[in-house]
Amino acid sequence: MTEALSRYFFYLKETDSSHHTVTGYRKDLQAFARWYGETCGEEPEPEKITSIDLREYQSWMRNVRPQTQHGQPQMKALKSWLGHARLDSTADD
């Protein structure tokens, strides 16, 4: 797991996010990290993830998991993580 993901999960716990949210987001983001690693050959770092990556991941989910809600929950977790990472990186500056 990347440092950015670890920091995000710590943030979720510190902000009293529900156990259900933390568990769901962890599962969704770990699935994305696996896909990203297999596709891009490296761990996902927020500053490297492009809109093309996100579209390709959505497309992959539609093809691999057609019975799901077309990745909406997974994309919500990704959007939340990437938003947090953006804010976290500006706080470090």
Give the dihedral of Cα atoms 75, 27, 45, 56; nearest 10 deg. Answer: -40
Q: Which CATH architecture is the domain 3-92 placed in? A: Orthogonal Bundle (1.10)
Mean predicted confidence (pLDDT) in 54-61: 92
CB distance 84 to 11 below 8 Å? yes
Instruction: Find the range with the poorest average confidence among 8-12, 46-50, 68-72.
Output: 68-72
Q: Structural domain boundaries of the chain?
A: 3-92
Q: How far apart are CA 81 and CA 27, in angstroms?
A: 13
CB distance 37 to 50 below 8 Å? no
pTM for this structure? Answer: 0.84
